[in-house]
Amino acid sequence: MHEGYKLRIPELIALKRDGKELTDEQISFLIDSISTNKMQPEQIGAFLMATYIQGMSTKETTKLTESMRDSGIKFEWKNKQNIVDKHSTGGVGDKISIPLAPVLASLGLKVPMIAGRGLEHTGGTIDKLESIKGFKTKLNPEEIIKIVNKIGCVITTQTEEMIPADRILYAIRDLTSTVASLPLITASILSKKAAEGISSLVLDVKVGSAAFMKDIDSASELAKSMVKTGNEMGIKTTALLTEMNNPLGFMSGNALEIIESIQLLKGDGPDDCRELIIAQGAQLLLSSGLETSEDKAKTEIKNKLKNGSALKKFKQMIVAQGVEEKFAEKICNEPRVLIKSCKYNSQLFLEESGYISSIDAMEIAQFILDNGGGRTFMEQSINHNIGVELHVKKGDFYDKKKPWATIYYDDEIDVLKQLKNCVNISQTAIQKKDRILRKII
């Protein structure tokens, strides 16, 4: 384009509509126009649909992500090498962020985790933490910096000052059926993580019936897009593809998942959750350079879970974020106090004994959603008490005289009709498999 040429939004939309690659300048101009309200909603919708249909190159995706990051404030840290984070694409019972952040902080890393709320069947980290009375999830940038520097980790929502372009784009993507676009997903996730000022990132890309990505090929494609873009931006990025047909851990639902997170921080809890904490944490220890051996990194994490260091960091973090110290002490010692206000709990039984071949994570998510423990639109309030506690996992032998699950609810329901088609039983032994399906670097 000749010198003095003025960029015009309709022309840029047409370029992308026709499958052309946009320049860095053009992408920066579009994102600046979006974040300063100079682009009409109709034009934003047209740009998103053009991108959804035509896609973007890695170069375009990287510039889109950088421009979105630069639309708001960015955190700057001393010793940036030790600033790390993780992101999960979301699933049922996925509480890994909650124990992982304090584990990493106990090892000397710093985690400025910007997390989200749940929508539809995926639970949000922020919703789970809000089941702790007094926990403040809306922090300003100064508070985030102070807590990270003092404690080593924080889990908070996106501030008003961060990535305004993403807030606008995300809302319109939902309205225009352009959510499932690889470059748009990549830019939305990584712009938030890049604004945190991190040097290393591990991605947990869920695969299966209760995940956004239903099969390993589409999950691999998304993981590769995010890993490539993250590394292009100077963030050491790796991805783990993990199974999400069956719920993660024993507990699903906001308060229940905090209870299980505390159990994990005490060195107990389910093996599949511990597997992901150790694998993701080890990856960040290696990426940051704090460890050079994967085996040693995993051993360090196991030790911090066993010796109480990680639990101590969790308690310090929740106190720093507004929880009264005595109550923090109490829930760390007796986490089930968090579910004390729940009106009802009922045990569920199956008609036959046998090996558990599958537990449908979507059925469990639907129970939580139907009873008020999830939301169908972002402004909806939720009941933190609602949830499902499993007593068996895939591969376990089940005795029909014992309950396979306990459900927690606050309004009277017909218990016999709940989760009727959730579990499949086999009369032959089922091999237990690791949650981690693939690693992408």
Q: Does residue 258 share a domain with residue 151?
A: yes
Has residue 14 been placed in a domain? yes
* 174 a catalytic residue: no
| Token pair for 326 | 């005595």
Catalytic: which of 173, 236, 315, 435? 173
Per-residue pLDDT, 174 = 81
Helices and strands (DSSP H and E) totals, the chain: 16, 13
Neighbours of 216 (CB within 10 A): 16
Among 333, 352, 380, where does a domain finish? 333
Strand partners, 119: 122
What percent of the chain lies above the pLDDT cut of 90? 90
Has residue 121 been placed in a domain? yes
Q: What is the pLDDT of residues 406-428, one digit of tens each?
A: 999 999 999 999 999 999 999 99
Q: Does residue 343 share a domain with residue 244?
A: no
Per-residue pLDDT, 1 = 47
pLDDT band of 124, cuts 50, 70, 90: confident
Q: Does residue 146 share a domain with residue 295?
A: yes
Considering only residues 374 and 41, tell me which one the structure prediction assigns the higher pLDDT.
41
Q: What is the pLDDT of residues 51-99, one digit of tens each?
A: 999 999 999 999 999 999 999 999 999 989 999 999 999 899 999 999 9
Nearest to 169 by CA among 74, 53, 37, 59: 37
Can you give the residue range of the structural domain that contains 32?
9-55
Q: Does residue 367 share a domain with residue 322?
A: no
Nearest to 121 by CA among 90, 150, 96: 90
Q: Does residue 328 share a domain with residue 341?
A: no
Catalytic: which of 63, 69, 87, 110? 87
What is the pTM (predicted TM-score) of this model? 0.94
Averaged pLDDT, 327-331: 98
Per-residue pLDDT, 35 = 94
Query: Under 8 Å CB-to-CB from 273, ≥6 apart: which residues?
Result: 95, 96, 99, 248, 249, 260, 264
Q: Does residue 117 share a domain with residue 260?
A: yes
Catalytic: which of 188, 191, 252, 261? 188
Q: How far apart are CA 219 and CA 174, in angstroms?
A: 20
Q: Does residue 276 share a domain with residue 250?
A: yes
Q: Does residue 305 share a domain with residue 243?
A: yes
pLDDT of 4 higher than 50: no
* 192 a catalytic residue: yes
For the ranges 63-67, 83-87, 116-120, 171-175, the lowest mean pLDDT is seen at: 116-120
The CATH number covering residue 287 comes to 3.40.1030.10
Q: Does residue 265 share a domain with residue 202?
A: yes
pLDDT of 377 higher than 90: no
Q: Does residue 116 share a domain with residue 39?
A: no
The CATH number covering residue 34 comes to 1.20.970.10
The CATH number covering residue 367 comes to 3.90.1170.30
Averaged pLDDT, 113-136: 86
Q: What is the pLDDT of residues 143-160, one digit of tens each?
A: 999 999 999 999 999 888
The distance in angstroms from the start CA to the end CA of the chain is: 37
SS3 336: helix
Has residue 349 been placed in a domain? yes
Averaged pLDDT, 89-110: 96
Has residue 151 been placed in a domain? yes
Mean pLDDT estimate for the chain: 95
Per-residue pLDDT, 7 = 84
Q: What is the pLDDT of residues 212-228, one digit of tens each?
A: 899 999 999 999 999 99
Has residue 69 been placed in a domain? no
What percent of the chain lies above the pLDDT cut of 70? 97
Q: Does residue 37 share a domain with residue 125?
A: no
For the ranges 193-202, 322-331, 372-381, the lowest mean pLDDT is seen at: 372-381
Has residue 185 been placed in a domain? no
Averaged pLDDT, 275-304: 98
Q: Strands across the sheet with 236-243, in order?
A: 84-88, 200-207, 236-243, 436-440
Number of domains observed in the structure of the chain: 3
Has residue 287 been placed in a domain? yes
For the ranges 154-168, 305-319, 336-350, the lowest mean pLDDT is seen at: 154-168
Among 287, 304, 333, where does a domain finish? 333
* 70 a catalytic residue: no
Catalytic: which of 192, 193, 313, 435? 192
Q: How far apart are CA 273 and CA 244, in angstroms?
A: 12
Q: Does residue 414 share a domain with residue 273?
A: no
pLDDT band of 378, cuts 50, 70, 90: low
Averaged pLDDT, 301-327: 98
Has residue 343 been placed in a domain? yes
Catalytic: which of 70, 166, 204, 360? 166
pLDDT band of 380, cuts 50, 70, 90: confident
pLDDT of 119 higher than 70: no
Among 299, 314, 333, where does a domain finish? 333
